[in-house]
Amino acid sequence: MKNILVTGATGQLGSELKVLSVNYPQYRWVFADRTQVSLGDPMLLEEQLVSIQPTIILNCGAYTAVDKAESEKELADVVNHQAVAVMAAYAKEHDVKLIHVSTDYVFDGTSSTALNEDAVTNPINVYGASKRAGELAALAVNPDVLIIRTSWVYSSFGNNFVKTMQRLLKERDTLGVVNDQIGSPTYAADLAQAMMDIVSNENWIPGIYNYSNEGEISWYEFVLAIQEITGEQCEVKGIPSSAYPTPAARPAYSLLDKNKIKEVYGVTVPYYKESLKKCLKFNV
């Protein structure tokens, strides 16, 4: 029986994979939190991988505090870069399949068309730079690694933009939301299914793939969609990014082109609003 190790098991994506795992009883699942798989300690991480002996690694663990990363550059690099290199090296040495999750923040946001996997990367914040370093390190050590870049992840688990906006729509009379950052959200349950579609496929075609839900929207439009589904009466106003300064810069445009993952693996990519409706059913 093949062992699937899920790192970051208590996060949004890891939690969705745990829900999905009941549909895949042919695998022995190991859901590891940061104590069982220490991404912040690469030397210990190697020992832990040897102990677990995974056949497949789904690396959902990451340092994702985008603004905090600006002041915790070293920690972000250890988790998002150095630990990924350790996993990639382990995967190569032990003939293990590794799917590593990356981000749209590897781009600078200057594009005006959907970004494919060959688009030039140029991170504009520490988080994005650490994730890009992880991609490069993994592929340099082990060209057989499969990387999935995703964006604007949300779930019925954990803390995320959708949950925060649901709460604020209830609490406030007016709400200002950035309207000049464009991309597409990703329902973590959909991404989890896409990962399992790849794992279940007879063919293993490594490299970088993009995955987010279909649709091209701003954060402001995303909140309007949440409001439409929940029926909250708060007045939502679009504001420029300059009116909501953050420690880390965000790419203004990071819409991902999903054609490759659809063509190579036959992955279905739902429209963002349909997935949002599914998620909000769990959040009521």
Q: Which residues are tagged catalytic?
A: 127
Q: Which two tokens stand for residue 135?
A: 């991609």
Question: Which residue has tokens 């995303």?
Answer: 222
Residue 185 burial (CB count, 10 A):
25
CA distances from 246 to 69, 121, 126 (A): 12, 22, 13
Return phi, psi of residue 157, to 5°. Answer: -105, 150
238 in Cβ contact with 177 (< 8 Å): yes
Q: What is the largest CA-CA distance in the chain?
A: 57
What residue has token string 């795992």?
A: 21
